[in-house]
Each structure stands twice: as C-alpha cells, then as structure tokens.
Amino acid sequence: MKPIHIITEVLVFSPLVGAIISGLFAKKIGPRGAHYITISYVFCAFIAACALVNLSYFGNVPSVNFTLYNWLSTGSTNFQVGFLVDRLSIMMAFIVTFISLLVHIYSIGYMKGDKGYQRFFSYVSLFTFAMLALVMANNCMQLFFGWEGVGVVSYLLIGFWFHRDSAASGSLKAFLVNRVGDFGFILGIAALLASTGSLDYNKIFLHTQSLVSHSVNILPHVSIPLIDLVCFCLFIGAMGKSAQIPLHIWLPESMEGPTPISALIHAATMVTAGIYMITRMSPLFEYAPDVLNIILFIGSSGALLLGLVGLVQNDIKKVVAYSTLSQLGYMIAATGASAYAVGMFHLVTHAFFKALLFLGAGSVIVALHHEQDMRRMGGLRHYMPVTFWTFLIGTLALTAVPPFAGFFSKDAIIEAVSLSELPCATWAIFCLNIGAFVTSLYSFRALFMTFFGETRYTGGKITESTWTICLPLFLLAIGSICSGYILAPSIFMPLDGLLSSVIYLSPDAANVANDLAIPYTVGDGVFFEAFEHLPFWLTLLGFITAYYSYIVNKDFPNIIAAKFSLFYRVLIAKFGFDTFNEWFFVKGLKRISTSCYKVGDMLLIDKILVHGSANEVLSASGFLRKFQTGYLYHYTFGMVLGLAIFILVVLYI
C-alpha cells in the first residue's frame, strides 16, 4: 500500500475512531477522556491533511484515485468505497480538519458542565468524519453517503439540547428541508447512473458529450438536454445543503444548537458541501449554461435579500447566521459565473472569518451567561479585549476591507460576475454590489451594539473567556488576516493555478479566468486598485451608516424603521418564506390530511365499509326475521304463493 493511501485513510477514519470510543465508552473514559480522545484523533486527521498539502502543493505529487473496497456489484455496475486525492479534495480536507480541531478545543470551555458533554464530542467527531468522507470521495455513491451523513449528524447536533422545544423544532426543520434538496440530488445521481452506467467521477465525465447530445421529455412535446436535467437536479441538492433560496429557511434555525457546532456547520462543513459538489462537477455544469444562469440568479439574489434580513436581527448568532446565508450566495454566484476557483477561494477565506465570528459570538454568550440579545450588551470591549479584537478582525475580513482575507475573495467574485456574459449577469452585479453595502452595515451594527457604547448587561460580572476559547480565536484571526494574501496570487491562474488541474473550464470561461487573474499577477498594486472599485466605497458607506446609527445618533434606526415601516415589516417577516411554508406546506398538509381522515377514514371506511356493512346485515336480518313467525298457516301461505308464482313464470315466460 502506498504511503499516500495510508495518509488518506488516517485522514478520513481517525475522527470516526474518536467518535466511536467517546460515544460507546463514555462512562469508562469520563468527560476529560472524551475531549482528549476526540481531539487527539482529529489532530491526527489534521496532520494527515497537512501531509497531503505538502505532497500535493509543494511536492507536486499528482492526483491519486484509488478504491478501498468493492461494496456491492450488480450486473456491470460496481458500488465502491474509494478516495480521490487531488488539490480540490485536499484543500477541503485541510479546512475541515483545521476548523474542526479548533472547534473541539473551543468546546472544552464552552460545553463545560453540560450533561451531554461526552455525547457532544462524539457527535462533532462523527460530523467531521462524514464531511471528510464526502470531500474525499471518488464516486457519487460515497459522496451521497457523506452528504446524508452530515445531514443526520447535524440533526443530532442542532437538537442537542432536545429538552428545548425550539431546538427540537429547529433540528426537525433542518432535517426535513434538507430532504427536499436531497430528493433532487439523488434523482440527479440516478440519472447519471442510468445514462452512464457508472457513479465514478472520471467515468461519468467521459460521457459528458453523450449527456449533451441526448434529450429527455419533461412535458409532452417539450424536451431539454439530459445534461441540463442532471445538473439542475444536482443543483437542487446544493440548494438544500448550502441553504439557497427558497431552501435556506433551515439555516437560521440551526442556531438552536451549541455555538461551536454553529461555527462548524456554517464555516467549513455542511453548508459548503454544495459549493464543493458544483465545483467537483464542473465538467458537467460547464455544458449546461442555462443551469449556470439559474445558479447565478439564485446565488446573487440570496446574497442581497438574505443579507437585508440580517439588518433587523437582534440575536448575535442570528446576525452571523444570515451573514452566512449571504456569503453562501456570493459563492454560489461565483460557480454560476464559472469562476469555480474564486468560489472555492471565498469558501476558504470565509471558513476562517466566519468561524472566528461565530466563536467570538460564543465567547460573548458565555461571558454574559448565555445572553444572546445585542440590545442587552454594549461596552464589552473593556471587559473582553481578546474577544473584541478578534471579532473586529473577523468583521473587517467579512466586509472585505483590504488587506484582510475577504477583500481578495469577495471582490474577485464581483469582478468575475462582471465579466460573465450570462443573461442574469447584470442583475447579479447589482445584487452583489449592493450586498457589499448591506454586509458592511449589518457587520458593523453587530460590532457597535455588542462592544461599544454603555454596558447594558445587568446579569452579573463580565470576564474574558478561558484560554480554550481564546486560543482558537487567535488562530482564526491569523487566518482571517493572511489567508487571502497567501492564496490570491496562485488561486486565479487558469492554467497553472492551485485548482486548475481539477476544474474544467469552457474556452470562454477560461478567457474570463485569465482576465480575472491579471490584477493578481502585478503584486501589491491590487490594494490600491480597491479604491477604484465600487464595492470598497459601498463598504465604507456601510461603515459610516452603522457608525452614525449606533454610535452618534441611536434614534436614527427607529426613525428609518418608522419611515419605511412596510419594508421593515417585510424584513422582520424574512420576506415571508417561513410564513408561506407554514401556510402552504404545514397548514396545507394538515388540511389535506384532515380531509383524508374525514372522507377516507370516517366516511368511507368507518361509516360505509365497517359500520355500513354491519348496519346492512342487521337490516337484512331484521327483514328476514319477520318471515320466521313459527305459525304453520304462514308457512303454508308462503308455499302456495311460491307455487303460484312458479306456475305463472312457466306458463308466460
């Protein structure tokens, strides 16, 4: 067995071993043993990921595709467990293991004293395994296994505090909404299996031209290319997992889980699976421009609309959650514009600063004895300097202020979309530019409400968090500062970039990628070019607006809310998505089920079939009973009458 095979197996299976030990032997190892064991095994996975980074990025070791074992064979089709070790999967594995390791360390302080302490560490480690199985897969079957794995474990983690009704409801909502997306996803995989005879990535890609040339009827006399149907079904899966409109409604509800898992789900694992899947399937999506146009429209619309909802949230975790929804829209829009490398670049930088913001919010929540309403905070920078400075760095990275990480990736997405020739590109450019202003406004709003002004918290003494919480914040802050500058020069290259060997681009998309790469080949001049672009000035305007509204004139937000009351109510209602789902799906299904119960069960089954048949038997027996009187002359009369009727029938018929 080759060393790279062993390293890959250590990477994928180490978290699973930690999850099994901490879950099945919880009483024997105790709380300390649970976190030591799971952290040790996740650390092994992280070291393995670093080894693969060294081999691939610095050692120029080519991609490795190998099968671990054959799970099932049916006819000529084999369902296998195997791994594809290339730069895309290694990049994802590194981010997943790094963020997961920090979340494990952070959880020691955050979950201290919780009754489900050991269960939590087992779940988080199992969640990490499922995500690694997803990103390292070399076939759609294993991809789907990891896809469903993170869905199931996320249900357990979001509903971790199951005694709370809100947590139980949030976990169920996440599970059900993801099943809607997964239904489309499995249809897409089934279509690939039926049309190509394989689930292996490389074999599927060899049949791309066949998928393009074949059509499928979706309505009588209406047909579309098979590849459009396949890619659209796959994108439905991405919409559910990466929380795109209208399947985004589960993600804010996931805040009911512990903050560390919120950081893991939002920053580096579950919600990024859709972006990873689209990038992995770029050889298919590049031949489906109509689907790319839909992706661009949905992604850019979500980037703006869901960012607007974040403006009216007062729960610090909900603000960061809607920020995630908005940033996922940017990533999806990048893939729609065929800028897959740029979308992955933003995925990496976003993992650092979004995990930092979530864990920073968790640090605040712990210090304030689990208070999450920003209206009851304020002035915390004096009590929590480490949390404040790291949260500030995360905010600057999120708002794309140069030279922080988000500046490189977020601005590159806007630039890539502006170079796109898809029909929805104009709308997308508008949404992403205005989204830069909205992002800055809600980000600095959260910063000012939490850390500036007078201290409004009255629930007890406020102190800085423990080192197990502050250390991950410090490390994530470094990544939020440096990751963009380190990766930017090589991530965009269409021919020799970090991901150029694993991403397929059509000739037109390759030309766009080449144009996009030019500013990043000239050195530090890209910093000065930021002042020439609209997003920078919109970000500055957002900062000024937030500063005036929450530092200078704190009545200004109430004045604006009163003046634009209709729009404010729309934002409070989250554009009515939840209301519509409640009315149409929940209450609609209840009405349908009630009608089925009344008509099918009570009327048809009970009244007609069960009670009805019994009543008819009773009626018939009651009628026949009248002829059984016991009098001889009644029976004689009956015999004579019957004989007379018989004679008449014989004579006249």
Question: What's the whole-number mean pLDDT along residues 156-175?
Answer: 85
Q: Which residue has the higher pLDDT, 607 or 212?
A: 212
**pLDDT of the residue at 522:** 44
Lowest mean pLDDT among 84-93, 232-241, 310-319, 623-632: 623-632
pLDDT category of residue 434 using cuts at 50, 70 and 90: very high
Q: With pLDDT > 70 as the criterion, what percentage of the chain qualifies?
A: 95
pLDDT category of residue 651 using cuts at 50, 70 and 90: confident
Neighbouring CB atoms inside 10 A of 110's CB total 23
Could you read off the pLDDT of 345-373 as tens digits, one per residue? 999 999 999 999 999 998 999 888 888 88
Residue 428's contacts (CB-CB under 8 Å, 6 or more residues apart) are: 296, 297, 299, 300, 333, 336, 337, 417, 420
pLDDT category of residue 524 using cuts at 50, 70 and 90: low
Evaluate whether 22 touches 118 at the Cβ level (below 8 Å): yes
d(CA 134, CA 83) in angstroms, rounded, equals: 10
Could you read off the pLDDT of 229-280 as tens digits, one per residue? 999 999 999 998 888 988 888 888 888 888 888 888 877 778 889 999 999 9
**pLDDT of the residue at 126:** 93
Give the best-scoring range by mean pLDDT among 10-14, 195-199, 364-368, 602-606.
10-14
pLDDT at 300 over 90: yes
**pLDDT of the residue at 256:** 82
Evaluate whether 261 touches 294 at the Cβ level (below 8 Å): no
Name the region of 2 (left: φ>0; alpha: ψ -120 to 50; beta: rest).
beta
74 to 77, 78, 79, 80: CA distances (angstroms): 5, 6, 8, 12
**pLDDT of the residue at 623:** 76
What token pair was written down for 616? Answer: 């008819």
d(CA 211, CA 239) in angstroms, rounded, equals: 22
Q: Where are the domains of the chain?
A: 288-566, 576-652
pLDDT at 525 over 60: no
> Which SS3 state, helix, strand or coil, does residue 83 take?
strand
Residue 433's contacts (CB-CB under 8 Å, 6 or more residues apart) are: 414, 534, 535, 538
Question: What's the whole-number mean pLDDT along residues 362-386?
Answer: 88
pLDDT at 447 over 70: yes
Evaluate whether 317 touches 259 at the Cβ level (below 8 Å): yes
The alpha carbon of 115 is separated from its chain's Cα centroid by a whole number of angstroms, namely 28
Could you read off the pLDDT of 15-37 as tens digits, one per residue? 999 999 998 888 888 888 888 99
pLDDT at 57 over 60: yes
Question: What's the whole-number mean pLDDT along residues 493-506?
Answer: 72
> pTM of the predicted model, to two decimals?
0.88
pLDDT category of residue 304 using cuts at 50, 70 and 90: very high
Amino acid, single-letter form, for residue 135:
V
Q: Which residue has the higher pLDDT, 165 or 524?
A: 165
Evaluate whether 47 touches 167 at the Cβ level (below 8 Å): no
Question: What's the whole-number mean pLDDT along residues 474-494?
Answer: 81
Q: With pLDDT > 90 as the criterion, what percentage of the chain qualifies?
A: 34
Cis amide prior to 403 (ω within 30 degrees): yes
Amino acid, single-letter form, for residue 277:
M
Mean pLDDT for all residues in the chain: 86
Question: What's the whole-number mean pLDDT along residues 463-469?
Answer: 85
Question: What's the whole-number mean pLDDT along residues 49-63?
Answer: 86
pLDDT category of residue 520 using cuts at 50, 70 and 90: low
Could you read off the pLDDT of 578-591 as tens digits, one per residue? 888 777 777 777 88
Q: Tokens 């799970």 label which residue? A: 71
Question: What's the whole-number mean pLDDT along residues 67-93?
Answer: 85
**pLDDT of the residue at 41:** 94
What token pair was written down for 471? Answer: 């250390």
pLDDT category of residue 518 using cuts at 50, 70 and 90: low
What token pair was written down for 7? Answer: 């390293």
